[in-house]
Structure 1
Amino acid sequence: MHKKLWFQIHWLLGIVFGVTLILIGISGAVWSYQKEIMRLINPDTYTVQIPQNKEILTVQEILEKYQEQNPDRKINSISFSTDNSSSVSMSLASLDPNNRRGETIYLNPYTAEVLPELVGGDFFNFFFRLHRWLTFSGDIQYIGKNVVAISTIACIVLVISGIVVYWPRIRHAFLKSFTFSFKTKKRAFLSTMHSAVGLWLIIPFLLMCLTGLYWSYDWYRSAMFTVMGVEQPKRNVAPTPQQAQQNQQARQGQEGQRGQGGGTQREIPKPVSFVDAQKAVDIFNQKVEKDYVNASIRLTPTKDTIYTISYRFVDATHFRETNSMDIDIAKSEVLKEAKYSDKKLNEKIMSSMLPLHSGEFFGWIGQLIFFISSALMSLFVITGYMLYYDRWKKKRAKEQKLRG
């Protein structure tokens, strides 16, 4: 493709998608340190003072104390840590029937006292929605989702076309093309800074864009699993309108039979056993090989007497570096243990797409580089707009001079 055409594509995409890319970049930068900032501004929720001469309550004791004070709340799971200063988190079924996500509370592991609610969540949720859907919601959420996806594809083309446009400069002075000087004149300064910043961000930009599309299109996500040679986990598929109507009619029919005393009786839910959960936790603590920053157990067994505990070691690089242990409390043994460290590289990548997107997959240095790259998106776009305006102004002045 001719260089002039690449140049036109580069500027056209920059003009059309520049503002959207600024929003995506800023929101991504804000969100990148969400976990660290939330812990910083909520010290009384995430951590507790270690009292003298007092032992940490067992999981069973914490569950029983909370349930006794809140008999109407259904506890789904509980998370704990080997860190004695860490609070315990508990997942509860929401009192709102329309809220399927439930809610999370934090408790003092020494007293089972409920700790203050987290602050700052709404702030970060806004930037998350801005990053994913441009804050669009409801029936028009797909519009924001597709605008973000198309802008992401445009960013990939911008990177490629930028390399083509600036290739003569790069080939002529490779190392110098990564630098710029504040002593140069206005347009020369903007041009060299724009190209230098672009070269710095090639790899982070491409990784962020290619991984970002994972959440944009189902076909793209499936293609990634196929290319990486990893089996794609099955997702719960929402029923079709016809299926939903049939299910609703079936439920109404069953309720009508119960109301008429017609045979079918309301099924009484099986009570959750805190004793059994404690047995699973005890076996887990005996078998786990080292300290963990977080371990979570669902109070409902996955099958009969089998409980699954998901956990993350204290030396984990990122938050998706999770392991799991299947425990049969009837036999007091571990049936299966799946460790993140035992996965192949392709499996680690596909199970850690979000840390790969944020740079956390590469440790703290990767997270910092991706944060800076996302923040510099604004500078990259603004300098591009300034160059375009300067070029347009000179072209207009030249045309007016020819007319005069």
Structure 2
Amino acid sequence: MRESWRAIKAALLHVHSIAGLVLALLLAVIALTGAIMSFEDEIVDHLNAGIMQVAPRQAPALMPDELVARLTAAQDVGKISAVTLASDPSAAVHVRFARDERGARPSSLYVDPYDARVLGTPDGEEFFATVRKLHRWLLIPGDAKGWGRQITGVAALGLIVMLISGLVLRWPRRAGSVKMWLKPNLGLSGRGLHRSLHAVIGTWVLPVYLVMTFTGLWYSFDWYKDGVVWLLSRPQIAAAKMQPKMPTKASRAAGVSETAQPIGFDRAWAAFLHEEGGRFSKALLTLPAGPGTVIRIRSWGKDSTLDTTRDEFRVDAITGQFVSAERYSDKTLGEKTIANVLDIHRGAFLGWPGKLAFMLAAVLMPLFAVTGVLLYLSRRKLRRLAQPRLGRLVPGE
């Protein structure tokens, strides 16, 4: 029994070492870029505090279509794809643009809601967009449609293998001793210190890494995402999410050609205001990417603390009729978990302490890469020293 256990551990060590050597640099890049984005919202808001607010006025704010018309008439801007409007009369309007012919997306703008005057381009936006592409797609062309998405997914699967095998390999004889699990032996040096740091600190961050990897797979593999939706959602919700988008009945009933003329925001915005009143804090209105007429509206309540705790509506831009309404409060626990995948992935569901803990865990990833490589090299050196030299062998050996 003991010999078979030793053989199993030897095989696990081999798998752990090879996976670590192959994925060490890639995992370090993914982890460090994730750490950089941990407090992205707070950093961007701080950098752009001067252009995100305006002096409130007694005059009513412009309707979205008039604001867009004044903005495009005043200067040459790209095709507008989305606007973020707020119930706060002192909040600026955030305008986003569609990709151009080369696939590049122009920088967004903050605009005065009362006269469409451009307040400025947000600092840090392009930097974090590049970091996000590196984190999710490794800057490989094609973004979500390229190979980078699958490569990061394979790296996440490899990390799961390393975490499980590493836990088995370091399982102490006194498994009930908290000290054995959580206290590194800093009195050691060389290989002993490397092994202690690798094993003990790895135990500290293992739960965080498991959460990161299992939620990160959501963004890499469609089969994984569909499986999670099937598992955690109500059957009718899961079926609706997996069906391809089709033209709305409202659009067909109105007899409107989906490619005849550009659509605007006003009808959808007016319908949303009539439905929600003053219960929202901000709303993101996004035009359809294709020839459809349905505008997606993501709405955050005034008591919302997470970016993912939002309601989502789809409104026909021609008729102003609601196509669908998904309220966060109506979701089941499983559906709320799906909605909060991103905030779970980065620890935001635990507030700023959770984000800080996840960031520190991500920053520690290079430590495991370095100590893992050092341990591998030291094992190879010990094996060479243990082998008898041919010149010292006597006849018969």
With the length of structure 2 as denominator, give the TM-score of the two structures: 0.77
In the aligned structure 1, how far is the partner of 2:268 from the partner of 2:350?
35
- Asked if 1:124 is matched to 2:128, the reply is yes
1:387 to 347, 359, 375: 375
Identify the match of residue 349 of structure 1 among 337, 343, 347: 337
CA distance in 1, matches of 2:92, 2:174: 53
Paired position in structure 2 for 1:283? 274
Residue type matched to 1:41 in 2? L
Residue 205 of structure 1 corresponds to: 209
**CA-atom RMSD in angstroms:** 3.9
Q: Does structure 2 retain, via aligned residues, the 8 Å contact 1:107–1:113?
A: yes
Judge conservation of contact 1:280–1:329 (CA < 8 Å) in 2.
no
Confirm or deny that 1:90 pairs with 2:95: yes
6, 17, 24: which one pairs with 2:23?
A: 17
Aligned-pair distance for 1:106?
1.7
Tell me what 2:354 maps to.
366
CA gap 1:179/1:66 in 2 versus in 1, 3 angstroms: same
Q: How does 1:204-283 map to 2 (within 5 A)?
A: 204-230=208-234, 231=238, 233-234=241-242, 269-270=260-261, 272=263, 276=267, 279-280=270-271, 282-283=273-274
Deviation, 1:299, is: 7.3
Whether the 8 Å contact between 2:86 and 2:93 is mirrored in structure 1 is: yes
The yes-or-no answer on 1:115 pairing with 2:106 is no
Deviation of 1:71 after TM superposition, in Å, equals 9.2
> What is the rounded CA distance, in whole Å, between the counterparts of 2:94 and 2:131 in structure 1?
24
Rounded Cα–Cα distance in structure 1 between residues aligned with 2:174 and 2:63:
61
Distance 1:177 1:319 in 2: 36
Contiguous gaps of at least 5 residues in structure 2: 246-256, 393-397
Q: Equivalent residue for 1:48?
A: 53
Contact 2:37/2:132 (<8 A) preserved? yes
In 2, the alpha carbon distance for the partners of 1:268 and 1:27 equals 40
Cα deviation 1:335-381 (Å, max 9, x = unaligned): 97532122111111222322222222333232222211111111122
User: How far does residue 161 in structure 1 lie from its aligned partner after superposition?
Assistant: 0.6
Q: 2:159 aligned with 1:168, yes or no?
A: no
Q: Cα distance, 1:212 vs. partner?
A: 1.5
CA contact (8 A) 1:360 1:367 kept: yes
User: Are 1:133 and 1:141, in contact at CA under 8 Å, matched by a contact in 2?
Assistant: no
Q: Say if 1:10 and 1:87 are closer, same or farther in 2 by CA, change over 3 A.
A: same
Out of 34, 51, 71, the position equivalent to 1:28 is 34
Question: Partner of 2:139: helix, strand, or coil?
Answer: coil
User: One-letter code of the match for 2:45?
Assistant: R
Q: What displacement does 1:49 show?
A: 4.2
Worse-superposed segment, 173-182 or 5-14: 173-182
Cα distance in 2 between the residues matched to 1:346 and 1:373 = 26
Aligned equivalents of 1:150 and 1:299: distance in 2? 33
Distance 2:73 2:340 in 1: 39
Q: What is the CA–CA distance in structure 2 between the aligned matches of 1:166 and 1:336, rounded to whole Å?
A: 51
Give me the whole-angstrom Cα distance separating, in 1, the residues matched to 2:321 and 2:143: 49
C-alpha contact 1:297 1:310 (8 A) present in aligned 2: yes
Contact 2:137 2:144 in 1 (8 A): no
Partner of 2:12: 6
The answer (yes or no) to whether the contact 1:283–1:327 under 8 Å persists in 2 is no
Q: How many Å apart are 1:63 and its aligned residue? A: 4.3
Contact kept in structure 1, 2:311 and 2:326, CA below 8 Å: yes
Kindly tell me: are residues 389 and 72 of structure 1, through their superposed partners in 2, closer, same or farther at Cα, counting changes over 3 Å?
Answer: closer
TM-score by length of 1: 0.76
| Partner residue of 1:81 out of 79, 86, 110 | 86
Which deviates further from its counterpart, 117-126 or 22-31?
117-126
Tell me: CA distance 1:236–1:371, structure 2 relative to 1, closer, same or farther (3 Å): farther
Instruction: Determine the C-alpha separation between the residues in 2 that align with 1:306 and 1:151.
Output: 37
Structure 2 counterpart of 1:324, from 312, 319, 323: 312
Structure 1, 328-337 or 372-381: larger mean CA deviation? 328-337
